[in-house]
Every structure is written in structure tokens, then in C-alpha cells.
Structure 1
Amino acid sequence: MPTDTAIAAEITRQTAARAPKTICPSEVARALAEDWRPLMPRVRAVAGTMPEVVATQRGDPVDPVTARGAIRLAWKPRPDPSA
């Protein structure tokens, strides 16, 4: 099983690469394990600890741990320092 650090690194890699589009947490789990389904709760839990990642459901921010159903993960846009 991958470590939380490895999960966080994969979440960062995928969300940053796809920004501003979102990813499904299952994409992270599939990249880290052949038997990926048991990894899903950990992927969601790790995503919930990452301040640079936002979880959404139907476009609204949600807690990835407590949200029921499908969620998406996105890289949070950094504030524009010139604004």
C-alpha cells in the first residue's frame, strides 16, 4: 500500500498537471495500486489534509472525507498578487 506521502504527491502531480480542470480521486488510486478500490478512502482523507487542493461535488466545495458520492479534486488557484 502506498504511503500518505506518496498519495499526496500523486494528488499534487495530477491536479497541478490538469489545472484548472478537475480529477477524480479514483485516477489517483488507479495510478498507485492495481487493486485501487480499497485505496479510495485514504486518497480522499489525504486530499482533505492538503490546503492546495479543493474537493467539489456538483461544483460546490465539500469535505472529501464526509461527502457522500462522487467528488472531484482540483488544484486551488493561487491568489493574484497584483489584485
Structure 2
Amino acid sequence: MTALKPTDAQLREALLAKAQARRPGTTFCPSEVARDLAADWRPLMEPLRAMARELAREGRLQVTQKGEALDAEAPWRGPIRLSLA
């Protein structure tokens, strides 16, 4: 765990690494990545969601909520799950 705020590149790498480590078809919560990166993980949630949106726009990650795919351009509210696209 690091005391410094992770860079965008580190957030991107951490999200992709977590997605690639999962079995195909399984999802994860961005909070799992946040907890891996920092003891005080809650401040990382919005930056991780923003990076997940960017990765979804690039076609690298799929973002779902209650099993339904979310549009990367639409507003997101509530808990999301991530997986490789």
C-alpha cells in the first residue's frame, strides 16, 4: 500500500490488472482496486470510476450495474461492477 495518491496511469494499470486476473465473465467492484492501493481507499473511488469510464470508452472494460451494461457516456449512479470488455 502506498501513502501517495496514485497517478492516473497507476489507476489505469490497477484496473486492467484486476480485470485480467479474473476468470472470464466475472466482475469486480472498483473498491477492490481502491483497497489494494491505499489504506484510506474511499478517496480513490471517484478517480477509479472516472478511469473505468475512460477504459469503457476505449472498449477495454465493460461496466455493469445489476447485470446490465452501462453506457460510458451516460451518468452512473450507485454501485458498478467491472470486467474485461
Q: Same fold (TM over 0.5)?
A: yes
Q: Give how far 1:33 is off.
A: 1.0
Match of 2:79 in 1: 70
Aligned CA RMSD, in angstroms, stands at: 1.5
Q: Which aligned pairs between 1:1-80 and structure 2 lie closer than 5 A?
A: 1-20=5-24, 21-50=26-55, 51-63=59-71, 66-76=75-85
The higher radius of gyration belongs to: 1
Say how many residue pairs are matched.
Answer: 76
Q: Give how far 1:66 is off.
A: 2.6
Which 4+ stretches in 1 moved above 4 angstroms? none
**Runs (5+) with no aligned partner, structure 1:** 77-83
Q: Give how far 1:34 is off.
A: 0.9
State the SS of the aligned residue for 2:39: coil
State the SS of the aligned residue for 1:49: helix
Structure 1 CA distance for aligned equivalents of residues 83 and 52 of structure 2: 10
Structure 2 CA distance for aligned equivalents of residues 66 and 40 of structure 1: 16
Structure 2 CA distance for aligned equivalents of residues 53 and 75 of structure 1: 5
